[in-house]
Structure 1
Amino acid sequence: MSTLDAVKLRPLPDQATRLLETLDAPPRLVAHLRLVHDVACELVEWLYPVLPFDRAAALFGAATHDIGKIVHRAELSGPGSEHEQAGYELLLAQGVQEDYARFARTHASWNSSDIRLEDLVVSLADKIWKAKRVPDLEQLIVNRIATAGGREKWQVFMELDDLLDRLAATADRRLAYQAEHPV
């Protein structure tokens, strides 16, 4: 019985599932992408009523952001960033439109001036799934939401902080689930 049997993970977008199958993605990578995607779904559900954005792009990005680890398998269990550009190129080579492929390249670089809210959501999901809090990233999201929605930053911060605390509280189960899958 899996660690997350009691918690039903949301299915990945069909296009992402087909890509992972076609590219023979390792089980550990698929597990990781499912977990990040599931957390991204929570973030998207919280954000969408407040601020319109490309939900489908953000969810696809969460489901494929680390796909370059198929090429750079050492980065499945160790540090590295070579998978970012490799994933972007791999997605483009598979016919994925640039607007969706970009997440492989942007998920770890949220300080760029051309970063969109969708990129920030993928970056945040890729951190909070394992309970890692990144104040600079969180503040960028707070600022975007407050500015676009005409809301007070402190109010947005409190709401986001509550959501992230709730997501972080179940990180141990997600980490155990990922560890159940071979690299």
Structure 2
Amino acid sequence: MSSTALRRALTDNSGLRPLPERVEVLLESLDAPPRLGAHLRAVHDVACELVDWVRTNYGVTFDGDAVLFGAATHDIGKVVHPEELSGPGSEHEPDGYRLLLEHGVGEELARFARTHASWLESGVGLEDLLVGLADKIWKGKRVPELEQLVVQQLAAADSEQPWQVFMALDDELTRRAADADRRLAFQADYPITSRT
């Protein structure tokens, strides 16, 4: 049974989009830490914005639904490693991947738990990069190497000059980062422990 704080993190009328129902059910069944639920909502919300922006501005073929699922579950391994909610660590990445597979999520979606911080891993595509980008920009963090990889993918798909794509992406990320304080405050309102 999930905690009241987790339920609140998943349903709070904060202006953030709700997670996919399948993800909410999984988080509740795992009795995920409330702060993790809040974090996943914040990253998922930014991913929704990025997916809409890419679809509106570029003719690239990509799986936007996979991006949204990946953003909603990328840190699920922190159920197993809650210490990584407040400190550094990457043990949640392979354990999150395994956890998703164990709960019936296919490899094509579970991979985001593993790839959201491994942008140079073999087989990483635009979907993985967008999940990683959402996981950075939700808190206003800019990562030039990651942004350059996104620029390369979008420019190649649309036959646009990389500098043009860079300028457009920079503007979009600046807009998304401007709201980081609100998202950080939302996440901080929820405890790391799942018991209320």
Give the TM-score of the pair, scaled to structure 1: 0.95
Indicate whether 1:22 and 2:29 are aligned. Answer: yes
Paired residue for 2:44? Answer: 37
Q: Give per-residue Cα distances to partners, 1:40-99, cap 9 Å, x unaligned.
A: 001000112312210111100000000000001110111000000000000000000000
The Cα of 1:14 is off from its aligned counterpart by 1.6
Which stretches in structure 1 are left out of the alignment for 5+ residues? none
Paired residue for 1:53? Answer: 62
Paired residue for 2:151? Answer: 142
- Structure 1 CA distance, aligned partners of 2:150 and 2:66? 17
- Structure 2 CA distance, aligned partners of 1:182 and 1:30? 10
**Closer/same/farther in 2, CA of residues 7 and 27 from structure 1, 3 Å limit:** closer
The Cα of 1:180 is off from its aligned counterpart by 0.5
Indicate whether 1:118 and 2:93 are aligned. Answer: no
Paired residue for 2:103? Answer: 94
Number of aligned positions between the proteins: 180
Paired residue for 2:112? Answer: 103
Give the TM-score of the pair, scaled to structure 2: 0.89
Q: Report sequence identity in percent.
A: 66
Paired residue for 1:85? Answer: 94
How much is the aligned-residue C-alpha RMSD, in angstroms?
1.4
Which stretches in structure 2 are left out of the alignment for 5+ residues? 1-8
The Cα of 1:116 is off from its aligned counterpart by 0.8
Indicate whether 1:133 and 2:145 are aligned. Answer: no
Q: Is the 8 A contact 2:14 2:186 kept in 1?
A: no
Letter in 2 for 1:66: D
**Closer/same/farther in 2, CA of residues 67 and 11 from structure 1, 3 Å limit:** same
- Structure 1 CA distance, aligned partners of 2:168 and 2:115? 25
Superposed structure 1 runs of 4+ greater than 2 Å apart: none
- Structure 2 CA distance, aligned partners of 1:24 and 1:31? 13
The Cα of 1:133 is off from its aligned counterpart by 0.3
